[in-house]
Amino acid sequence: MIIKVRPPYKPLVQMHVCCAVCAFLWILHRRGYWVEQEEIAKACNLYVLKKTAKLFGLKMKTAKSAKQEGVNFDKFHIYANRLLKKKKIPLEMEKYSISQIEDSKKFIIKHLKNGEDVMVSFACKPIPQCKCPAGHVCVVAEFDLKSNTLTLGDSRWTSPKYWKIKLDKIVKAMDKKYGRERGFWVVKPRR
């Protein structure tokens, strides 16, 4: 059995270090909402190196090193929820560190079957198809229960828009031994 996100995502391409921002935008777009990628990035405290700040029309926060670029896994959902409320979009985002989840398969099945969107945050080092220097974020487009394989929607301009990976591999790449603990963000209708 394969659980697919319906309606499906329409691939969008991320701006520099905006993988989490663009994954969130895939979700908003799928649900009929649009917010500019740079507006989401600014609202969600995206950090960029001084030398790459010129790639943005809006002023972003300055990172001290390449390891600091991007968004903060622990706070992204807080900023995203503020933006959703400000824009009067009736959705909310929740964060789940991998250590909070007893059974990642049941977790993903539950959220996909409920029509919710799941974003995965992982370290790239243990994932050969991920060519990012640090971490990356994708959306779960489908889950093949028989083979335990996820199809991820990827906004990176150098990656295939969709690629497959075993669930256990992506879960291992969320471990804190790769710099910091990562996990999932779930977007669903606001309660």
Q: What is the pLDDT of residues 153-171, one digit of tens each?
A: 999 988 899 999 999 999 9
Q: Give dist(CA 97, CA 100) in Å, integer.
A: 5
| pLDDT at residue 175, rounded to an integer | 94
10 Å CB burial of residue 17 (0-12, 13-18, 19+) is buried
3-state DSSP assignment of residue 37? helix
| pLDDT at residue 129, rounded to an integer | 76
pLDDT in tens, 95-124: 999 999 999 999 999 999 999 999 999 998
For residue 179, name the pLDDT band (cuts at 50, 70, 90): confident
By percentage, how much of the chain surpasses pLDDT 70? 99
In this model, does residue 55 exceed pLDDT 80?
Answer: yes
| pLDDT at residue 141, rounded to an integer | 98
* Domain assignments of the chain as residue spans, ordered by start: 2-189
| pLDDT at residue 78, rounded to an integer | 98
In this model, does residue 133 exceed pLDDT 80?
Answer: no
pTM over 0.85: yes
Q: Which helix (H) or strand (E) holds 109?
A: helix 104-113
Average pLDDT over residues 61-66: 88
CB 25 within 8 A of CB 39: no
Query: Residue 139 forms beta bridges with which residues?
Result: 119, 153
> CATH fold of 2-189, please?
Cathepsin B; Chain A (3.90.70)
| pLDDT at residue 146, rounded to an integer | 97
CB 27 within 8 A of CB 80: no
Q: Give dist(CA 179, CA 185) in Å, integer.
A: 19
CB 11 within 8 A of CB 161: yes
| pLDDT at residue 126, rounded to an integer | 83
| pLDDT at residue 122, rounded to an integer | 95
Q: Give dist(CA 166, CA 3) in Å, integer.
A: 15
Q: Give dist(CA 4, CA 141) in Å, integer.
A: 6
| pLDDT at residue 69, rounded to an integer | 87
